[in-house]
């Protein structure tokens, strides 16, 4: 849990920075095409190259050539331009839902899959030329989308239509608000001078945040240690290090090296030296950059009508205001303090036994957690891995999802894919037998493939005014390994958890029946987006699930034994209070710097650190302000969102799924009352209606207290 690396794949979940999903937010709402366009475009592509799409779903085309991608991108842009022109030219006295909102909404729905077909190969195609074409197409489409969001003529039409206050459905109203906001976040309702200022600030922000990240990427600081100073590290680790003068080892400060030292190195002094150097990276360069960046962000937010940047970033999220985020974090922090104090005293005792009366520092935390865990849990993760062959885990996950959410998953063969081992599946409603959607599974890592796990939307659910509907298509990207002979290797336990998590996104995507593409698929409140996945993770710690998905490599009829299953559940919560406090610390730091003017970063971390971390001071001279990229790009002012969803997923699980057995009745209720509405309704209201009360943090605190110690 090195919160300042942000390289935990699971945290990135469905929404890594690079995915087009992010760019779509808002932008695609403005793209309009003639209704027939999408179908036309793909029919022509299909005839040319005899492509085999998913049955009944010819809008998703996944193995386009470089040439086809570039042509399609051009078509997307020119049709979009034409439709924008048409909307802009509707006479102001004739504006109606049918000629302003509907064309934009329907064609956003159709366009989303076309854009994705151009853009996702960048991450997954085995062919270099295709990846390059896809990246180029993406750039062109992005630039086009941005230019659409700045079109005054279209904005004026939408704004005037909105002011008429016609009676339309709640979801349509919500969509209209989003359309208006897309423009206004670009300053379109401001005077020309202020709009220029918005432009200037946006490019300044881009420039500063990339400089910050670049400084970190280019940081080459390193440390030198003798073999004795690295006592405790495994031989393979030492062998991976460069040897320097005097036979010393050269340690570069990459997060995996640092994590290894902090977890395994027996020498307190080495841990401290490394923690200090790691936390001081780019101190001189990046702190002034962040100061300037925060100010520019506040200025931008104020121009757009917000009190400060955090409120701007939280607009349209469950949390809504910075005040609420801060009290949420503080409440969890105080709720966990007792437990964390007990956890901490165990660590301090062991340190005293091993090192005498030296003070305990934050740099000792991971090392002693690891030591105590080795003593407390008889878990050999290398051996446990032998119990999770893909051939059991995957059908096991399918079965849990099916039993829980009332769906049926069936493989679809003989369809186009972009790599030979990619598979496609259809998802049906098990009650009615109705086809709900599809997903592709690109499960194994390979050279040139995007290197994180995530779920990408290839097509979102949508209903059209002519009665036609478009079904959701998701793409799950995982990073499981194969051996030299191309056989799937068994999965590590964390990979199993990760797969459950990603399947949570797939289920969410496919069960989202919102009729606007803007609100379907994974386009839901980002504070809500991780909740279904976090929820599903709970099942992989239940004994009956573990038995279902495990089988020893040499004899798959032998699942994990009860003892190991139970230990895994306890292990899940081991030192969880301390780990959560550490995350909360960084979330608070992030939230504070973006919700107040002129925050003194040094002062802030000096007071926050001991307050949250049970009196432990920040490592001398270090400051997350210099090396905390998540708070700069990607999760700025929203770092809290991960723990937010973890907390409410724990509430849902404890309150509604009690004993952990898949309960179809409750699962269907969750599907119906929460998932099916997607982003078209306030997520807090949905959860409240499902739970029968407002979501609470109590179950999260209680679950940790119950299972720990
Ligand atoms: C522009 O729009 C924002 C957001 O809708 C609003 O808060 C602000 O008051 C508007 N400004 C003007 C000048 O209309
Ligand atoms: C994808 O299309 C290319 C031609 O553009 C073809 O050579 C390749 O075999 C196809 N890939 C798969 C996995 O079908
Ligand atoms: Zn996720």
Same domain for 438 and 459, yes or no, is: yes
Q: Which residue's alpha carbon is nearest to atom 1 within ligand 2?
A: 63
Domain CATH code at residue 582: 1.10.1370.10
**Residue to substitute in 176, 184, 195 for testing ligand 1 pocket (most ligand atoms within 8 angstroms of CB):** 184
Is residue 243's pLDDT more than 80? yes
Q: Is the CB of 135 under 6 A from ligand 2?
A: no
Q: What is the pLDDT of residues 646-670, one digit of tens each?
A: 999 999 999 999 877 888 999 999 9
Q: What is the pLDDT of residues 461-472, one digit of tens each?
A: 999 999 999 999
Q: Which residues pair with 441 in a beta bridge?
A: 423, 476
Residue where a domain stops, chosen among 258, 280, 302: 280
User: 32: helix, coil or strand?
Assistant: coil
Domain range for residue 396? 390-572
**Residue to substitute in 187, 189, 191, 195 for testing ligand 1 pocket (most ligand atoms within 8 angstroms of CB):** 189
Same domain for 459 and 540, yes or no, is: yes
Q: Is the CB of 420 under 6 A from ligand 2?
A: yes
Is residue 330's pLDDT more than 60? yes
**HSE-up of residue 153 (Cα within 13 Å, Cβ side):** 12
Q: Is the CB of 705 under 6 A from ligand 2?
A: no
Same domain for 509 and 536, yes or no, is: yes
Q: Which residue's alpha carbon is nearest to atom 8 within ligand 1?
A: 305
Same domain for 105 and 165, yes or no, is: yes
Same domain for 356 and 396, yes or no, is: no
88 Cβ neighbours under 8 A, 6+ residues apart: 151, 153, 154, 156, 157
Which ligand neighbours the alpha carbon of 505 most closely?
3
∠ CA 498-523-157 to the nearest 5 degrees?
A: 165
**Residue to substitute in 45, 50, 61, 63 for testing ligand 2 pocket (most ligand atoms within 8 angstroms of CB):** 63
Domain CATH code at residue 409: 3.40.390.10
Q: Is the pTM of this model over 0.85?
A: yes
Average pLDDT, the chain: 91
Kindly state whether residue 415 falls inside one of the protein's structural domains: yes
Same domain for 295 and 275, yes or no, is: no
Residue where a domain stops, chosen among 572, 589, 615: 572
Catalytic residues: 502
State the closest ligand 1 atom to the C-alpha of 190, by its place in the atom list counted from 1: 13
Is residue 12's pLDDT more than 70? no
Residue where a domain stops, chosen among 236, 253, 280: 280
User: Considering only 47-51, 79-83, 289-293, which range has the smallest mean pLDDT?
Assistant: 47-51
Per-residue pLDDT, 25? 27
Are 558 and 527 contacting, i.e. CB atoms less than 8 angstroms apart?
no
pLDDT band at 218 (very low <50, low <70, confident <90, very high): very high
Residues in the chain, overall count: 709
Cα 267 to the center of its chain, rounded Å: 36
Ligand 2 centre to CA of 65 (Å) is: 8
Same domain for 551 and 416, yes or no, is: yes
666 Cβ neighbours under 8 A, 6+ residues apart: 656, 657
Burial class (CB in 10 A: 0-12, 13-18, 19+), 485: exposed
Same domain for 26 and 128, yes or no, is: yes
Kindly state whether residue 685 falls inside one of the protein's structural domains: no
138 Cβ neighbours under 8 A, 6+ residues apart: 20, 118, 119, 122
Kindly state whether residue 369 falls inside one of the protein's structural domains: yes
Determine the Cα–Cα distance for residues 63 and 134; give it in Å rounded to an integer. Answer: 11
State the closest ligand 1 atom to the C-alpha of 304, by its place in the atom list counted from 1: 3
Kind and range of the H or E run holding 469: strand 469-470
446 Cβ neighbours under 8 A, 6+ residues apart: 126, 419
Per-residue pLDDT, 245? 81
Domain count, the chain: 4
Which ligand neighbours the alpha carbon of 190 most closely?
1
Kind and range of the H or E run holding 426: strand 423-429
Same domain for 127 and 159, yes or no, is: yes
Q: What is the pLDDT of residues 197-209, one digit of tens each?
A: 999 999 999 999 9
Are 115 and 141 contacting, i.e. CB atoms less than 8 angstroms apart?
yes
Same domain for 322 and 471, yes or no, is: no
Same domain for 483 and 587, yes or no, is: no
Q: Is the CB of 65 under 6 A from ligand 2?
A: yes
Ligand 1 centre to CA of 188 (Å) is: 9
Kindly state whether residue 702 falls inside one of the protein's structural domains: no
Kindly state whether residue 227 falls inside one of the protein's structural domains: yes
State the closest ligand 1 atom to the C-alpha of 189, by its place in the atom list counted from 1: 1
Strand-pair category, 469-470 with 462-463:
antiparallel
Per-residue pLDDT, 29? 28
**How many helices and strands, by DSSP H and E, does the chain display?**
30, 10
Kindly state whether residue 591 falls inside one of the protein's structural domains: yes
Domain CATH code at residue 99: 1.20.1050.40
Kindly state whether residue 470 falls inside one of the protein's structural domains: yes
Q: What is the pLDDT of residues 175-198, one digit of tens each?
A: 999 999 999 999 999 999 999 999
> What single-letter DSSP state applies at residue 627?
S
CA nearest neighbour of 105 among 464, 601, 551, 459: 464
Ligand 1 centre to CA of 197 (Å) is: 15
Are 440 and 417 contacting, i.e. CB atoms less than 8 angstroms apart?
yes
Per-residue pLDDT, 50? 63
Same domain for 264 and 334, yes or no, is: no
Q: Is the CB of 52 under 6 A from ligand 2?
A: no
Is residue 27's pLDDT more than 50? no
229 Cβ neighbours under 8 A, 6+ residues apart: 267, 269, 270
519 Cβ neighbours under 8 A, 6+ residues apart: 171, 174, 175, 512, 678, 679, 680
Per-residue pLDDT, 28? 30
457 Cβ neighbours under 8 A, 6+ residues apart: 21, 112, 116, 472, 473, 474, 475, 509, 521, 522, 523
State the closest ligand 2 atom to the C-alpha of 422, by its place in the atom list counted from 1: 13
Residue 275 has a CB neighbour count (10 Å cut-off) of 22
Per-residue pLDDT, 660? 74
Q: What is the pLDDT of residues 412-462, one digit of tens each?
A: 999 999 999 999 999 999 999 999 999 999 999 999 899 999 999 999 999
Ligand 2 centre to CA of 62 (Å) is: 10
Q: CA–CA distance from 138 to each of 20, 127, 186, 391 (Å)?
A: 8, 17, 21, 36
Is residue 709's pLDDT more than 60? no
> What single-letter DSSP state applies at residue 555?
B
Kindly state whether residue 198 falls inside one of the protein's structural domains: no
Ligand 2 centre to CA of 446 (Å) is: 16
Determine the Cα–Cα distance for residues 57 and 435; give it in Å rounded to an integer. Answer: 11
Per-residue pLDDT, 46? 47
At residue 428, what are phi and psi to the nearest 5 degrees?
A: -115, 155
Determine the Cα–Cα distance for residues 116 and 112; give it in Å rounded to an integer. Answer: 6
∠ CA 329-334-338 to the nearest 5 degrees?
A: 140
At residue 267, what are phi and psi to the nearest 5 degrees?
A: -90, 110
Per-residue pLDDT, 107? 83
CB within 6 Å of ligand 1 — which residues? Answer: 184, 189-190, 305
Tell me which residue has tokens 């949420």: 328
Q: Which residue's alpha carbon is nearest to atom 9 within ligand 1?
A: 305
Alpha helices, H only, 219-321: 235-240, 255-264, 268-279, 283-303, 309-314
Q: Which residue's alpha carbon is nearest to atom 2 within ligand 1?
A: 184
């Amino acid at each position: 849990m090195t919160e300042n690396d942000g390289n935990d794949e699971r945290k990135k979940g469905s929404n890594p920075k690079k995915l087009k999903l992010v760019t779509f937010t808002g932008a695609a709402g403005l793209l309009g095409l003639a209704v027939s366009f999408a179908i036309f475009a793909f029919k022509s592509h299909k005839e040319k190259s005899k492509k085999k799409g998913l049955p009944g779903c010819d809008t998703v085309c996944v193995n386009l050539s470089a040439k086809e991608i570039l042509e399609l991108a051009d078509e997307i842009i020119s049709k979009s331009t034409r439709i924008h022109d048409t909307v802009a030219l509707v006479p102001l006295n004739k504006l109606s839902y049918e000629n302003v909102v509907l064309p934009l909404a329907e064609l956003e729905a159709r366009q989303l899959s076309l854009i994705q077909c151009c853009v996702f190969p960048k991450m997954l195609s085995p062919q270099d030329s295709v990846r390059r074409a896809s990246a180029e197409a993406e750039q062109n489409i992005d630039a086009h989308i941005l230019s659409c969001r700045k079109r005054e003529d279209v904005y004026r039409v939408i704004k005037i239509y909105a002011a008429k206050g016609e009676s339309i459905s709640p979801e349509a109203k919500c969509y209209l608000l989003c359309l208006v906001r897309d423009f206004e976040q670009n300053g379109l309702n401001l005077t020309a001078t202020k709009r220029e200022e918005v432009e200037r600030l946006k490019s300044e922000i881009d420039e500063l945040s990339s400089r910050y990240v670049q400084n970190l990427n280019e940081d080459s600081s390193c440390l030198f240690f003798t073999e004795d100073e690295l006592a405790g590290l495994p031989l393979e680790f030492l062998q991976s290090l460069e040897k320097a003068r005097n036979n010393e080892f050269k340690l570069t400060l990459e997060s995996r090296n640092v994590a290894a030292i902090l977890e395994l190195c027996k020498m307190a002094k080495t841990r401290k030296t490394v923690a200090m150097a790691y936390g001081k990276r780019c101190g001189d360069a990046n702190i002034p950059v962040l100061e300037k960046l925060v100010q520019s962000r506040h200025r931008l937010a104020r121009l757009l009508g917000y009190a400060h940047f955090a409120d701007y970033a939280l607009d349209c999220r469950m949390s809504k205001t910075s005040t609420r985020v801060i009290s949420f974090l503080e409440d969890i922090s105080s709720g966990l303090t007792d437990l964390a104090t007990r956890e901490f005293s165990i660590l301090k005792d062991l340190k005293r036994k091993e090192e005498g009366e030296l003070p305990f520092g934050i740099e000792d935390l991971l090392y002693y957690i690891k030591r105590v865990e080795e003593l407390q849990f008889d878990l050999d993760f290398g051996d446990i891995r032998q119990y999770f062959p893909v051939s059991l885990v995957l059908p096991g996950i399918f079965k849990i999802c099916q039993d829980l959410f009332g769906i049926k998953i069936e493989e679809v063969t003989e369809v186009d894919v972009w790599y030979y081992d990619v598979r496609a599946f259809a998802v049906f409603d098990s009650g009615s037998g109705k086809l709900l959607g599809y997903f592709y599974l690109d499960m194994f890592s390979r050279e040139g493939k995007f290197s994180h796990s995530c779920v990408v939307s290839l097509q979102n659910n949508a209903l059209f005014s002519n009665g036609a509907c478009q079904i959701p298509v998701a793409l799950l990207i995982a990073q499981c390994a194969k051996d030299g002979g191309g056989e799937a290797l068994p999965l590590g336990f964390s990979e199993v958890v990760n797969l459950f998590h990603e399947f949570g996104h797939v289920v969410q995507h496919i069960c989202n029946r919102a009729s606007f593409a803007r609100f379907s698929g994974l386009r839901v409140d980002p504070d809500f987006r991780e909740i279904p996945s976090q929820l599903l993770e709970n099942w992989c710690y239940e004994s009956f699930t573990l038995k279902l998905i495990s089988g020893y490599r040499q004899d798959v009829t032998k699942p994990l034994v009860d003892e190991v299953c139970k230990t895994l559940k306890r292990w899940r919560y081991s030192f969880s209070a301390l780990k959560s406090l550490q995350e909360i610390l960084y979330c608070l730091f992030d939230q504070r710097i973006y919700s107040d003017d002129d925050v003194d970063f040094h002062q802030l971390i000096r007071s926050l650190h001991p307050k949250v971390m049970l009196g432990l001071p920040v490592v001398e001279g270090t400051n997350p302000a210099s090396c905390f990229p998540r708070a700069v790009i990607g999760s700025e002012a929203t770092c809290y969102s991960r723990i937010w969803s973890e907390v409410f997923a724990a509430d849902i699980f404890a309150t509604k799924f009690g004993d952990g057995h898949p309960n179809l009745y409750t699962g269907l209720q969750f599907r119906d009352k929460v998932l099916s509405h997607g982003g078209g309704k306030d997520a807090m209201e949905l959860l409240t209606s499902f739970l029968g009360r407002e979501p609470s943090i109590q179950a999260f605190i209680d679950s940790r207290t119950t299972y720990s110690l």
